[in-house]
Amino acid sequence: MVPTDFDLLPTFEEAFLSCYWNSTYLPPVSLDPDDLHGLKPHLLKSTDPLAKKVQKITDNPAVKRILGSSLSYELNVVLLRNAFLENCGFRLESVKEVYDQKQKQVSKHYSVLSHPNLPGYFLKSCGRRIPENEEWQFRPMIGPVFQERTQFTPEAGLLRPFVAERAKKAVQQLGLEQEVVIPTIKLVTLPGSDQETDPKKKYVAVCERLNILNSTETVEKIAGMPRKEQQLFAQKICRLIMIIGIVDARFGNICVTSEKKSRIAIVDLEPVGLEAIKRPGIWNWLFPSRGISMEAAGRIGLGNLQAHLKKIRLPALQPFKDEVKSWQKRAVTLKVSTWKVVLTIVSCGLLALIYAVISLIYIYCIHRALAEDKKLRESYERKINRTESIEKQSELVQKFRVQMNKIFQNFMWYLKDIPIKALPGPP
């Protein structure tokens, strides 16, 4: 029997147990360029030689507009922007799925760029990772064993340097400085944007280029290792995923260096919902923004890595796969916080009662959001089929996108940090 959307939702038990999970959240990040604990340490001064090179090659109004805009996945827009940037001397270093009116296809993408006048570095856009009002179109990442989810935040591109800094500290704490390499990432102010108030349109990320193997070569390199070495390699990668909170964990984002003694290189450091930014106002000071917990990011990351490994039909890679699978099983095992249990006992079950009420509210809101989603889609289909005017159809589409995005945002918020283990994922 094929499960329905409602079958894939969390149960009350899953929501209740998630309240007892030992969750940790990163503090919100300040994007104030003058904040010594925020953006300032990651921002290159305009007098820096590297910043001067970046500003010189991006000193074109159209280039700045592309780098500051939301990333597009529409085939015509992508091809147009690709062609323009290549004519300006840039090289396209990313490949993504893009779509036209009929189907998706793989294409080079302008999200990662290199330039002959900027050797040793990549440029990455700090614009929104998902087009505004279209988050609902891009389904969040889903693990293969539990349907746990997260999504890109508007500032994900800007937060790469913060994740890179935390990753380097984690590598030091684990004593893996000689075995793991993390690229240095800095932000540069785009030329002529001093008066720009939106940081997503004001900066571009400059990432150190590492000597790494591509995803296919990485798989072949690991598969060629002895069994014990593969297991140790997998253990290090899994530990890094859990401690750093790497959500989009797959070969291509986690690679092997091309040196004689292979090292692990983590090249994609977008937080994908892990980080949150500081918001102004008394309410946001009392109740600061937060992303998903570190545990949730690690669980989703291990789930994504295992799903990625299932697509690789290579028997020699089996020891690596088995180790990742064992780590994922441990990640979804509840590690109940001791202080929460003690507080429940001391309060004669009051804490458990509070969590039970919260869980009931979450489950109700999740089901209501999905029902609203279904109702809105059905209403949209009826209206669009009865409307012949192109102008009115366009208005309906825009209204639908705004309403759908609001429902999707609420749905994602209620699902936050609830590991769903009721149903298996794809084979």
Position 27: which residue type? Answer: P
| Predicted local distance difference test score (pLDDT) of residue 100 | 75
Per-residue pLDDT tens over the stretch 166-187: 999 999 999 999 999 999 999 9
Element (H, E) at 111: strand 104-114
Beta strands in 135-268 (DSSP E): 180-181, 185-189, 203-208, 254-256, 264-266
Contact 205, 289 (CB under 8 A): no
- Which tokens sit at 214? 């591509």
**pLDDT band per the 50, 70, 90 thresholds, residue 287:** confident
Per-residue pLDDT tens over the stretch 213-248: 999 999 999 999 999 999 999 999 999 999 999 999
| Predicted local distance difference test score (pLDDT) of residue 101 | 67
Whole-number Å distance between alpha carbons of 223 and 317: 5
For residues 289-314, average pLDDT: 89
Per-residue pLDDT tens over the stretch 20-53: 888 889 999 999 888 888 899 999 998 999 999 9
Per-residue pLDDT tens over the stretch 2-26: 445 566 678 898 889 888 888 889 9
Contact 254, 348 (CB under 8 A): no
**pLDDT band per the 50, 70, 90 thresholds, residue 141:** low
| Predicted local distance difference test score (pLDDT) of residue 330 | 87
Q: Identify any residues that bridge with 113 across adjacent strands, giving them in sequence order.
A: 92, 123
Spans of all domains in the chain: 22-331
Q: Over the range 183-220, which residues count as b (16 or more CB within 10 Å of their CB) and which as e? A: bebbbbbbbebeeeeebbbbbbbbbeebebbebeebbe
Show Cβ contacts of residue 49 under 8 Å, excluding neighbours closer than 6 positions. none
Whole-number Å distance between alpha carbons of 246 and 299: 9
| Predicted local distance difference test score (pLDDT) of residue 194 | 83
Per-residue pLDDT tens over the stretch 308-344: 898 898 899 999 999 999 998 888 777 788 888 899 9
Per-residue pLDDT tens over the stretch 369-394: 988 988 998 998 888 888 888 888 88
Whole-number Å distance between alpha carbons of 424 and 288: 35
Q: What percent of the chain has pLDDT over 90?
A: 51
The model's pTM is: 0.87
